[in-house]
Amino acid sequence: MSRTVVIAGVGPGLGASLARRFDSEGCAVGLFARSHAFIEDLAEELSEAVAATVDVSDPADIEAGFQTVREALGPVDVLVFNASSAPWKGALDVDPDEFDRALDTNVRGALYCVQEAVPDMREAGEGTVIFTGATTSVRGREGAIGFSAAKFGARGMAESMARELGSEGIHVAHVVVDGGILPPNREITDPEAYLDPDAVADSYWHLVEQDRSAWTLELDLRPYVEEF
């Protein structure tokens, strides 16, 4: 079955792995990022893809991005919200603008993307929404008050949306990426301590393919460590 997928937040790490994985399954892929250069090159690499410069904190940008995808690829079947932005500051150091930016990107941006994508899924009677979470989605991190608040917020929205939309055939899942993702094009002394982005992308595809009788709400992914 051919699907149209929007990946909001595409860089050379997990976002690129997701795009390539979905492409390998015959999906048409819409790529959203604030910077156009990388996603334009990636779109040319894929079989059927379109790149759209989108700041997910801006509702007008999001609306325009989805319109670009629909015109080129058709209605949206799958949304992966993979965007993230936050200052690495504690409660007493973060300023209001920085805190708002974290919420605008991770929480409001996710909501706006869902509001754009889900009407297409409702029309089709099925679809998938996947949120990329982090360790801080379930366990607050010292010195990262904005990131922790935003990721907790996105996780709560995912749980709420799963209950709201599941009866309409729309699978909403939250993925806790509990660890660092292996960075591209950089020498790493201990790669086994990182998550392989291609392996993570395999798990996202599994969520899309799950039977409705056994949907996953939350998936925890982490590299193997002996003390776990």
Cβ-contact 193, 63 below 8 angstroms: no
- Is the pLDDT at 224 greater than 80, yes or no? no
pTM (2 d.p.)? 0.93
| Per-domain residue ranges of the chain | 4-221
Give the pLDDT of residue 143: 74
Tell me which of 93-97, 149-153, 179-183, 208-212 is least confident: 179-183
Question: Which residue carries 């291609």 as its tokens?
Answer: 198
Structure-block tokens of residue 183: 């960075």
With a CB cutoff of 8 Å and minimum separation 6, the contacts of 96 are none
Task: Using the Cα atoms of residue 35, residue 38, residue 41 and residue 46 in order, give the sign of their dihedral.
Answer: negative
Give the pLDDT of residue 226: 47
For the stretch 48-81, pLDDT in tens is 999 999 999 999 999 999 999 999 999 999 999 9
Give the pLDDT of residue 1: 67
Cβ-contact 198, 162 below 8 angstroms: no
- Fold classification of 4-221 is Rossmann fold (3.40.50)
Chain centre to alpha carbon of residue 65: 15
Give the pLDDT of residue 50: 97
Three-state SS string across the chain, please?
Answer: CCCEEEEECCCCCHHHHHHHHHHHCCCEEEEEECCHHHHHHHHHHCCCEEEEECCCCCHHHHHHHHHHHHHHHCCCCEEEECCCCCCCCCCCCCCHHHHHHHHHHHHHHHHHHHHHHHHHHHHHCCEEEEEEEEHHHCCCCCCCHHHHHHHHHHHHHHHHHHHHHHHHCEEEEEEEECCCECCCCCCCCCHHHCECHHHHHHHHHHHHHCCHHHCCCEEEECCCCCCC
Distance CA 175, CA 118 (A): 19
Express as a percent the part of the chain with pLDDT over 90.
73
